[in-house]
Structure 1
Amino acid sequence: MFAAVPLLALPVLIYNLICLTLSGAFKAVDANVRMTDKLFTIHMTSRAEWGVSLGDLLLAASLVVLFVELLKSTTSRRIAIINHSLSMVLFIFCLVEFLLFPAFATSTFFLVTLMVLLDVLAGFIVTIVSARRDIEFGDH
Structure 2
Amino acid sequence: MVSRADGTIVQPAFEFLADAHLTIGPKPKLACSKNTTAAIAADLTDFHHFLDARKKLVSDVDEDLLRSYADTLTDLDSAVTLDKLAAATIHRRWSTLTKLIAFCVKRGYLRKAPALLSKQTKRGTVQVLDVGVDLPGLNDA
Q: Which structure is larger by alpha-carbon Rg, 1 or 2?
A: 1
User: What TM-score comes out, normalization by structure 1 length?
Assistant: 0.30
